[in-house]
Amino acid sequence: MRKKSLNVEDIGCLTTRTRYIILFLGSACISSIASNMVVLNFTLICMGREFNETNPIDLENRGPYDYTQSEKSILMWAVAVGTLTAAWPFHWFYQKYGARYVFFTAGLISTVSTAVMPFTAGYSWLAFIVARFFQGVSFGADFAAIGLIVVHWASLKQHGLFISLLSSFSQISVIFTMPIAGELCVSSFGWPSVYYVHAAVSGVLFVAWLFYYRNTPAKHPAMTEIELEKIQRGKGEVKEKEDTPIKAIMTNHIMWSVWLSAFGELMMSQFIVMYGPTYLKEVLGFRVAETGYFVAIPRALHLAFKIVSGIASDRIQFLSEKVKMRIFNTIALMVSGSFFCVLGFLPRDLANYALASLLIIECSTGFICGGFYKCATLVARQHSHFVLSQIQFIKCLSLFIEPLLVFLICKHNSLTEWRVVFLFHGVLLIGMNFYILHLHVTFFNGFYITGIVLLLLAFVDFYYTIPVVFMNFFCVKVYLDINAVLVLFCFT
């Protein structure tokens, strides 16, 4: 297709900005699928009655929406199973048909499954789980869509910007969902209206996607020669459809460092998204409407810092990529890990300090954007959708691990139980960052030091720590190796 040639007087403010419209539309659609998935995390606190250590759930006389902790965990796991099931098929469909129709189909699945959630919740427990499963199926398309949008629509100079915004779907979804869910839950419309509003927004966004998006810039009717040259400058030839060298990617050290890094960051962020509302309401005692805003505000700050870090990663020229990586990871991991530990010791009467700690954690973790996401898209290029789809798989692991962690420890929603969970994440983050800065630490030394720290933590609350000590050993070892490998292989 021949692109439009423009005279200077024909150029308007959006004439050569089609890629930005694609960026914002893609980000909104990806965030919409994530929003539909996390709605349940909030509505669980207003669907049934409140239960805690002093008011345990009555299994004989409970209402239809009074779920036990194990039932809540099953609802979380249903999403993970759906995502695991769909991640590889979506990769195949993306490779064969591109993102336009495939991602629209994922959005349609998400819209329908979200719209029927109130009905399935009242109809049967099994139907509710099936609806959650299909929400997970649609979520399996998100990360691969990020890779395709970046590789086809972002110029080399704007990879950081595109990645920072597109990968911020978790933060955007929380910023949108939590305040709206909080207001609607306490309104006369009740909690079912939260699902209907999200389904309506999702439907509108994906219709817009179907009509506006094209698989490559060259096929877009609004694309100009000026903008197309900017997008393709320095890229060389990127084929629209090319077989993915799966074996080469799966045996590549850089790709493994990207995936392991993603595991560490996603464990932490998924915990906040899944259990932030529960912690603020049931442990710190905030009201439902307040909880929505207090979850959304830190995520909004995280989004701002994430975008800033992405732009900074593109613009800073006086530091090597290796140095920038270390600086960004130290800010993201060391600061957040320290305040995770602090958060575990803040009682209910210091709830405002706990909120401040959450703000600092969210702001600091925003700096992670200058790391593995950018590395994945720059190295994998037209195959980045496959690399990022495996990050989707890794996120599924966090969807399994986090509910299991909370299920094993937080049986009564007491501060003592939540303290162990916070210390678990804090020690992992701090230990990982020390390993980055001191790469000479061997496997056994890092494992040994981590074991000592975990044994010391056991004395804080021996009863609740023991069930997860062995899980901690495994996860910390993975965490410690993650960024060491990334620094060694990605930018040397």
* CA–CA separation, 214 and 152 (whole Å): 10
Q: Rg of the Cα trace of the chain?
A: 22
DSSP string for 339-350: HHHHHTT--GGG
Token digits of residue 345? 């010791």
Q: How confident is the model at residue 230, as a pLDDT?
A: 81
Please report how many Cα atoms fall inside a 13 Å half-sphere around the Cα of residue 434, on the Cβ side: 17
User: What is the number of other CB atoms lying within 10 angstroms of the CB of residue 1?
Assistant: 9
> 158: which DSSP letter?
G
pLDDT at 278 (0 to 100): 76
Which residue intervals of 251-320 are DSSP H helices?
253-278, 288-315
Contact 82, 133 (CB under 8 A): yes
Alpha helix positions (H), 124-167: 125-139, 142-153, 159-166
Dihedral angle of Cα 231, 233, 237, 243, to the nearest 10 degrees: -50
Is the distance from CB of 176 to CB of 30 less than 8 angstroms?
Answer: no
Other CB atoms within 10 Å distance of the CB of residue 31? 25
Assign 27 to helix, strand or coil: helix
How many CB atoms are closer than 10 A to CB 423? 23
Pair 348, 415: CB distance under 8 Å:
yes
d(CA 374, CA 167): 10
CA angle (264 as vertex; 259, 268 as ends), nearest 5: 135
Q: How far is CA 430 from the centre of its chain?
A: 20
Closest CA to 121 of 109, 131, 111, 106: 131
DSSP per-residue letters across 439-463: TT--HHHHHHHHHHHHHHHHHHSHH
pTM, two decimal places: 0.67
Question: Do 215 and 99 meet the contact criterion of CB atoms below 8 Å apart?
Answer: yes
Class in CATH terms, 12-50+65-223+248-490: mainly alpha
What number of other Cβ atoms are within 10 A of residue 120's Cβ? 17
CA angle 342, 347, 350 (to 5 degrees): 85
DSSP H helices in 334-442: 336-343, 351-365, 372-380, 384-409, 415-437
The token pair at 303 is: 């989004």
Q: What single string gives the DSSP state of each residue in 177-227?
A: HHHHHHHHHTSTT-THHHHHHHHHHHHHHHHHHHHH--SSGGG-TT-BHHH
Residue 59, classed as helix, strand or coil, is: coil
**Backbone phi and psi for residue 55, each to the nearest 5 degrees, phi listed first:** -130, 75
pLDDT in tens, the chain (492 residues): 445 555 544 455 556 788 889 999 999 999 999 999 888 877 887 775 544 444 444 445 554 566 777 787 788 888 888 988 887 888 789 888 888 999 999 999 999 999 999 999 888 889 999 999 999 999 888 877 887 888 888 887 777 778 778 878 877 888 888 788 888 888 888 888 999 999 999 999 999 999 999 988 888 888 788 878 887 776 655 555 566 677 777 777 777 766 766 776 777 777 877 777 777 777 777 777 677 777 778 878 887 888 888 778 778 878 776 677 777 777 877 888 888 888 888 877 887 888 888 888 888 888 877 766 666 666 666 666 677 667 767 777 777 787 778 777 877 777 788 888 888 888 777 766 665 454 434 433 444 444 444 444 444 444 444 444 444 444 444 444 444 444 334 433
What pLDDT score does 472 carry? 44
Burial level of 248, CB count in 10 A (0-12/13-18/19+)? exposed
pLDDT of residue 257: 65
Both tokens of 424, joined, read 């678990």
Q: Write phi, then psi, for 164 (nearest 5 degrees).
A: -60, -40
Count the neighbouring beta carbons within 10 Å of the beta carbon of residue 327: 15
